[in-house]
Amino acid sequence: MKQADFVIPLNWKNDSFRQIKNPKTLANPASSFPFSFPVKPYQNPESFNLSKIIMPLGDNLGDKSDSRYCGVETDFNDDMPHVLSYNINGGFDFIVAPLMEPGYRPSLINTASRESSVLPFAGSDLVLSPAQWSSHVVGKISSWIDLDSEDDVLREDSETALKQELAWASHLSLQACLLPTPKGNSCANYARCVNQILQNLNNMQLWLRIPLVKSDDEDDDSVNGTSDGMVVEPTDSWELWNSFRELCEHHSQLSVALDVLSSLPSVNSLGRWFGEPVKAAIVHTDSFLTNARGYPCLSKRHQKLLSGFFYFSIQIVLSGKAVHKLPVGSLPSGSGQADNNAQQAQKHEIRSYLDYVGYLYQKMEPLPEQERFELGYRDFLQSPLQPLMDNLEAQTYETFEKDSVKYIQYQRAVSKALVDRIPDENASTTTVILMVVGAGRGPLVRASLQAAEETGRKLKVYAVEKNPNAVVTLHSLVKLEGWEDVVTIISCDMRCWEAPEKADILVSELLGSFGDNELSPECLDGAQRFLKPDGISIPSSYTSFIQPVTTSKLYNDVKLHKDLLHFETAYVVKLHRLAKLSPSQAVFTFTHPNYSPNISNQRYKKLRFETPVETGSFIVHGFAGYFDAILYKDVHLGIEPSTATPNMFSWFPIFFPLRSPVYVKAGSPLDFQIWRCCGNTKVWYEWCVTSPTVSPIHNCNGRSYWVGL
């Protein structure tokens, strides 16, 4: 691997980096540190070369996430070059290493020598290059630290040592440091000190070590502890994390490193963590079982958990000594340089555990084509379209038009409607009048004409489009396809057009991520005057759905703006790092045509979400919204998770954030209320939580977010 191809294995990108003005500083962090003096490269007989530095777990089609790289937790050693060389050559991509000699206590240094003493760090900053420190070392803060101790000396020593070690880590430009697990349920002083440090910290992440423990029964004999010697009372460790995170004001640079032990909580309980900012999972060697050949392996539940970590870009860190005695002759045999490298890698005492993690990674199913297409959109907040106020750009049209699945469903719906409308015996003598309102650049026109050809029906099409730029393309398409005798193009807003005749079928593509959020009801209520009394609307109805979610990533992205407006805006987003806390529930339903004498599109809904007690407590950052539409009879399309149309990408879910996250105790219901409000010039949503706590009503009078009529 050439120096120019050097890859950074650690998750070096801070979520807040999207705000950085100069993207060039993100392209190659290994070369972007502002050192003003030449750093002497590390020279050692045991040194590693760049061709060995990057040894990912394997190749998985479409996956370029940080979960490809695996780390190892090491003991203190003041020969840092040797530690790094041994582990990198052994197959690992980074180390989690103590920065300070474990016997150091600030109070043991007398006052006279304190100013002149050299702190017992693990070597000078010059023993490794800046790129090696940054790319391959996560600092491990001393495990003896206890900032909430009743012992004044220990508490003061802990605070001093914590600040010294993090200052040293910052000096080394480390990307992350592992903080020790809080020693008890009370962690206020520890959190206070960490929060102070976070206020002035560079881009380094702080990983708080939390054991993956939740006891559903007081008599649970599961192993509750961490490798740094702490024993945790049978409890829900998520509560400990949540208390610490709340005390630190949900700071975006505070993350979690989960200690994965031999016993795991319930599936529902584990699911909460995928919405939390988990950066690493520390898997202990004593959590491994032994397979029939004598090699380490993991239980089915552990395997499934690691697959989840891989999918959500959570890096695995192995910890502990080898506890399996491998069969004799298990080392690879052969000849040549490749074999020598393999045998050298096998010298690492826990290489067999790394190989097994690599095996789990490589046997994952490759990402489907649709997910590979959507990778760049994951957890990226986008403002919803304003389809009546704004004209779409060509690039937006092109993206929507590539969604063949959607248009296949529309073609099926039109085909069924044509067959129902015109019996076979009248097919050659009767012409069906079909209007496409919001025709865009013509994909629905094409789908309708293909349906007519498929069913042998005669069709006359009116294509109504308000965007003059799209109309240019429509005219070109009609001429190119020879549709001049069949298709009439109307360059006009459907709300203003007076149709020369009534339609048998009205086809539209006005749905938003929440069904009605792009004003489909208002548009179709106005356009239904074009329909014959027994005319058909495609779609015939649609329903919005909503569910509570934990998504620390999106919450922090919204919080970056530091204003009310962004917390009262509904975003379109490809949801990825989140925990779905309860099944989605139906919200608003609209049916077309709607011949009610007093049509009102205002809506109000009260919902109660229940979660199993075994899930434990959780935090709600907002609500994810979806829709499901009936195009005609049994032909539907939608994005509601339980009924979503496969391989359709035209719509991402919508996200309604909460200004303040809501804590919900285990077994407690969550009450949510949402309004769809209509004015003379705009439509907007208002929403709030009313139990277990009461939140403000968001977006009152549409002050922050609305869709213009």
Whether residue 593 has a cis bond before it, omega within 30° of 0: yes
Q: Which candidate, 467, 523, 518, places its Cα nearest to that of 490? A: 467
Contacts of 1 (CB under 8 A, 6+ apart): 7, 50, 51, 53, 54
Q: Any known ligand binding at 230?
A: no
Q: Any known ligand binding at 228?
A: no
Judge whether 147 and 190 are in contact, CB under 8 Å: yes
Q: Which candidate, 528, 529, 519, 503, places its Cα nearest to that of 414? A: 503
Q: Any known ligand binding at 465?
A: yes
Q: Any known ligand binding at 397?
A: yes
317's enclosing H/E stretch is strand 315-319
Q: Which candidate, 526, 553, 548, places its Cα nearest to that of 537? A: 526
Give dist(CA 652, CA 373) in Å, integer. Answer: 13
Q: Which candidate, 87, 98, 78, places its Cα nearest to that of 228? A: 98
Q: Any known ligand binding at 604?
A: no
Give dist(CA 331, CA 352) in Å, integer. Answer: 10
Whether residue 692 has a cis bond before it, omega within 30° of 0: yes
Separation of CA 354 from chain center: 26
Buried residues in 79-114 as b, exposed as e (16+ CB within 10 A): ebbebbbbbbbbbbbbbbbbbbeeebebeeeeeeee
Buried residues in 540-572 as b, exposed as e (16+ CB within 10 A): bbbbbbbbbbbbbbbbbbbbeeeeeebbbbbbb
In one-letter notation, the amino acid at residue 382 is Q
Q: Cβ of 182: how many Cβ atoms within 10 Å?
A: 26
Q: Any known ligand binding at 218?
A: no
CA dihedral 189, 693, 642, 384 (to 10 degrees): -90
Judge whether 213 and 264 are in contact, CB under 8 Å: no
Judge whether 262 and 212 are in contact, CB under 8 Å: no
SS3 track for 626-657: EEEEEEECCEEEECCCCCCCCCCCCCCCEEEE
Apex CA 135: angle with CA 132 and CA 138, to 5°? 100
Contacts of 624 (CB under 8 A, 6+ apart): 546, 547, 549, 575, 578, 580, 584, 653, 654, 655
DSSP class per residue in 93-147: SEEEEESB-TT--GGGS-HHHHTTPPP-BSS-GGGS-HHHHHHHEEEE--TT--T
Q: Active-site positions?
A: 509, 518
SS3 track for 430-453: CEEEEEEECCCCCHHHHHHHHHHH
Give dist(CA 462, CA 449) in Å, integer. Answer: 12
Separation of CA 469 from chain center: 36
**3-state DSSP call for residue 191?**
helix
Separation of CA 602 from chain center: 32
Annotated binding residues for S-adenosyl-L-methionine: 397, 406-407, 465, 493-494
Annotated binding residues: 397, 406-407, 465, 493-494
